[in-house]
Structure 1
């Protein structure tokens, strides 16, 4: 039996873990979409996000879903057989209300107890459910009237994590207890959004990340318009340094990859002297494809909690993808030219430019060759103006 598990755009760690630990891959063919959840499945195939989720619905015999209104009503309108598991950890009762509606109208099997997920699947296989009819009062009209619809965080088809402050972003990655979120983070700016539209490989690498944060004022403006939330720009170099500082509080082992040998070594020495960071290993970025596996094996051997990779895009994202398969409990971050900025090898824009969100202009003025890349910014601006992002 082919089962597809989806939690939409929000995490539901307990459901993913229960399915992964309680349902055998020998009995069910399960694929899991886990959004930005912390738990990484060990027994079943998984991915975090796709803009082609309809394909997975169509290929499945049964869908297990959280009680998110958008997901549930789409499945109802497509007459999909499903098991709905409301997220009772939420502070609101919307999912429980929707679950009650499904039960009362015999539209789906509802499971409130993770220990009973197996019996819920068996029940859903044999039950004859009533056919859902989309009437004007129900369907998506019902969602708008009775549910707080989650504002869209999609920019050019990429789901972006919204952080009100830098502190929120840091605490999301390293908890107050010193636990590190496994996975990876990728900075998203207008140029990267356009690259993802043009290059499927780049988009796939970006979507494989567990965190995508707005490091570009254009992306921030789009998110504010679409979500109507407070959105802070999270410069990658500042996020990296803040993570390094917090890692030192818990003596978390850190590995640095990338830049020249001189810059890499200077960054290591400065981190140790400034914050007392526990650097368990480092490697400059001047290694070729034939040496890549040896570098990855070195990282695996020391089991760092955080790995920052400064190889430039898209090389650093592709390198991180390979590493994550062997270090599932490690947090990876692509940092571009951050080591050069941190060690003052490259001068960052003055504070005034940063406050006015003109850091991009400062870099362009000091490096005119970047003008060739500004076409992507113009295309992004056009797509934003015509509301196509």
Structure 2
């Protein structure tokens, strides 16, 4: 019997308490069954931005799977009594699905980044996954008015897995508005993973990842652009967690209690 995954709530967002292996299997099952699933990833910065951007919050909440991309989210869950088995990093899921797609001959589409970065990444992916079937690709620079045509191109390619290497909230808005019409069984927003695979930016060493310091390693690479942003969002996330921790729990109303006792 398949274990039914729990869907706890953290900061008012329903998450899927899945391991990486369970997530990969869920994606492969969707391909096998012809289902469509959209994946939303949340880290500390995105949870903060979701409080400020209703469109982003609605787009993430509308995804079929919402996963803890950031280690800070897992730690906050522990503090607040919400069990998340482990971090499911977007780039790690991306790599696992590419490997699985190569083995099963499942076509993929890669959408995002600048054209030069995309081409460099495609060359590196071809070297790492020589049998992978890339049914199409496109850079991530297009206007909102072009979104239907872009989704149509993905659908025409026959791709079963679609990876979006775009920033938030653009990738979430595209997924919410056009994910289904791409025809892909799995739509996964991978953010800056294209830049990492292309070698443009470096990913933090494993120890830094385990310590939840990937954001700091990233900020060290682009301090002028990212330093203040990460410090601001991390401080806001700590404040969010502290407020949630001290928030009083509402007791059941007398009417609810009476109704329950009468049955």
- Establish whether TM, by shorter chain, passes 0.5: yes
In 1, Cα distance between the equivalents of 2:170 and 2:89? 20
In 1, Cα distance between the equivalents of 2:174 and 2:82? 35
Which one has more relative contact order, counting CA pairs under 8 Å at least 6 apart? Answer: 2
TM-score, normalised on structure 1? 0.57
Could you tell me how far 1:179 is from its partner in structure 2?
4.7
Cα shift readout 1:312-366 (whole Å, capped 9, x = no counterpart): 1001111122322424552111111101111212111122212322111112233
Give unpaired runs (5+ residues) of structure 1: 1-88, 93-149
Could you tell me how far 1:228 is from its partner in structure 2?
5.8
Runs of at least 4 residues of structure 1 off by over 4 A? 89-92, 176-181
- Is contact 2:155-2:184 (8 Å) kept? no
TM-score, normalised on structure 2? 0.82
RMSD: 2.6
C-alpha change, 1:286 and 1:383, in structure 2 (3 Å) is closer
Task: Find the residue that maps to 2:135 and give its secondary structure.
Answer: strand
C-alpha change, 1:185 and 1:91, in structure 2 (3 Å) is closer
C-alpha change, 1:215 and 1:248, in structure 2 (3 Å) is same
In 2, Cα distance between the equivalents of 1:293 and 1:280? 18
- Is contact 2:162-2:186 (8 Å) kept? yes
Residue of structure 2 aligned with 1:279, choices 134, 141, 144 = 134
In 2, Cα distance between the equivalents of 1:200 and 1:176? 29
Structure of larger gyration radius: 1
In 2, Cα distance between the equivalents of 1:326 and 1:167? 27
C-alpha change, 1:258 and 1:370, in structure 2 (3 Å) is same
Higher helix share goes to which structure? 2
Question: How many aligned positions are there?
Answer: 243
- Is contact 1:152-1:226 (8 Å) kept? no
Aligned partner of 1:377 in structure 2 is 234
In 1, Cα distance between the equivalents of 2:30 and 2:6? 28
Residue of structure 2 aligned with 1:268, choices 119, 122, 136 = 122
Residues 1:302 and 2:125 are matched in the alignment: no
1:16-27 → structure 2 map (5 Å cutoff): none
